[in-house]
Amino acid sequence: MLRKIIHIDEDKCNGCGLCAKACHEGAIEMINGKAKLTRENFCDGFGDCLPECPTGAITFEEREVPAYDENAVKKSKQAQILKQAQAQNHAGCPGSAAMFFDRAKNNNNSAPLPEFQSQLTNWPVQVKLLPSKSDFYENAEILLAADCTAYAYANFHEEFIKGKTLLIACPKLDMVDYSEKLAEILKNNNIKSVTLVRMEVPCCGGLERMLNRAVEISGKNLKPNVIIITRDGRKII
C-alpha cells in the first residue's frame, strides 16, 4: 500500500543509535554501525525517531510498503519483555530470588515496629518475575493486583495484602498476556482462593480477562473475587 514511512540516509547516519531507542515499535535496528529500517510493517509513520537524529539523516517519504501491523508489533514487544525477564532470572539476579516473610515471627522480635507495618509475605511480586511453583503458593490466598491500586487505595496493605500472596501486573504497560503464566501458577500449586483488585479504568479490564482465562486453562474450580478501585481511591465490590 502507498503510505508515509521514514527514510534513513546512511551517508548522514553517524551511528549514535538514538533513533533506534526512540522507535517504540522496534522498526529500526543498528547494523554495522548504521541505523536501518529493518521492518517496514513495524513503522507507524509517526516519526518519533526524527527529532532524536542529530544529523538529519531521517526524513519522511511516501512509497509502496506493507501496511502497519500493530499485532506483530505487540507480539514482538511481548517476546522481548519475556526474553529480558528470562535473561534476568538465568543470570541469578539476587533481587528476584523467591523469599517468604513470616509476619507473625517478625512481629515477635525485639526490634521496634513501625506505626504502619508492611503485610507483604512474598518476594518477588511482579507476575513476570514470579516462579510458577513455590512454597509461598501452597494453601495460599492469592491477591492479583493492578499496579496502580496500591497507590490509589490508602489501606491497601491491611485490607488486601494481609494474609495473602501478592502478584502484581499492569495489562497496559507490561504488554504481555499473563494468562498462561497465571494458569501455570494456579495449576502447579494448591491455591485456596483468588482475589483480583483492579482499577476502574477500561484498560485494567484486561487483567480481569487474563485471570478468567487462566482459571479456565488451569481447570481449577476457582471463582475470583473482583474488587474495583476508583481513581479517587474508593472501593467497589
Check whether the bond before 124 is cis (ω within 30° of 0): yes
Is residue 38 within 8 A of residue 28, CB to CB? The reply is: yes
Q: Which of 118, 149, 124, 150 is nearest to 136 (CA)?
A: 124
DSSP 101: -
pLDDT tens for each residue of 181-234: 999 999 999 999 999 999 999 999 999 999 999 999 999 999 999 999 999 999
pLDDT tens for each residue of 80-105: 766 665 555 544 566 667 777 776 66
pTM of structure: 0.59
Helices and strands, counts by H and E, the chain: 7, 11
Look at the block and give the residue holding cell 522507535: 23
Interatomic CA distance for residues 4 and 44, integer angstroms: 9
3-class secondary structure, 42: helix
Copy the grid coordinates of residue 125: 511480586
